Amino acid sequence: MPIAGAAWRQLFDERASLPPLWPMDAHTLLLDASGVWRYHELILPLPDQYVVSRPEGNTALYPVGIENCGDGRPGHRTIGDYAGVERLFLKHEGENPTGSFKDRGMTVGVSMARYIGARAVACASTGNTSASLASYAAQAGLPCLVFLPAGHVAPGKLAQSLAYGATTIQVAGDFDDAMRLVEQVCNELGIYLLNSLNPYRVEGQKAIGFEILQQLDWQAPD
């Protein structure tokens, strides 16, 4: 029997407002704290024990519309003022665990890898994807390989991949060269590929829409 929208909204609001000492197990609390897995019925029906979460999401909406222009003095104008938009918000995905929106998709992708019994995970990346995969793979206890085009990766992102223990391989060439190589390696060695075309990553990334709606009291923006 289909569940009405109001019932979904009530369920998600209850999960978002659970106090820290709510009488539930720690893993359930972790899932409810995630800006992805709070909506797990709309994301992926995985058993809870396979979910790998840091938790991610719950990034802030910052008001930058004309109504937030402050005192109107030069230097106090907002993006909305320049754009002529009365009510405008920016969502700061840099507040995710590894500093990018990629964590929303990676929590689902790595959870699926764990569920299917993948023995290792891999990706090609110019920075954000490799940092995110290395982080979630480390939490899941999965070996991780990342293929990076030499000289095309920000030092901070390279440092994250190394710090989380990923086997990091620099490839002579651009991203496309790294992508071709990781696809070949994954096919030959049976490694689970977690680049952006992985459908389970897309499932996680769509949660940003649910989260924005919840932050706006379920009133859809234009």
pLDDT at residue 21, rounded to an integer: 46
* Paired strand residues for 168: 146
Least trusted range by pLDDT, from 20-24, 62-66, 70-74: 20-24
Give one word for 84, left, alpha or beta, with left for phi > 0 and alpha for psi -120 to 50. left
82 & 105 share domain: no
CATH number at residue 172: 3.40.50.1100
126 & 84 share domain: no
Q: How far apart are CA 29 and CA 222, in angstroms?
A: 33
Q: Are 61 and 212 in contact (CB under 8 A)?
A: yes
Q: For all residues of the chain together, what is the average pLDDT?
A: 89
pTM of the model: 0.89
Residue 24: inside a domain = yes
**Average pLDDT score over residue span 6-17:** 90
**Average pLDDT score over residue span 38-61:** 93
165 & 85 share domain: no
User: Would you place residue 19 in the very low, low, confident or very high pLDDT band (cuts 50, 70, 90)?
Assistant: low
Residue 222: inside a domain = no
Q: Can you give the residue range of the structural domain that contains 164?
A: 5-56+97-204
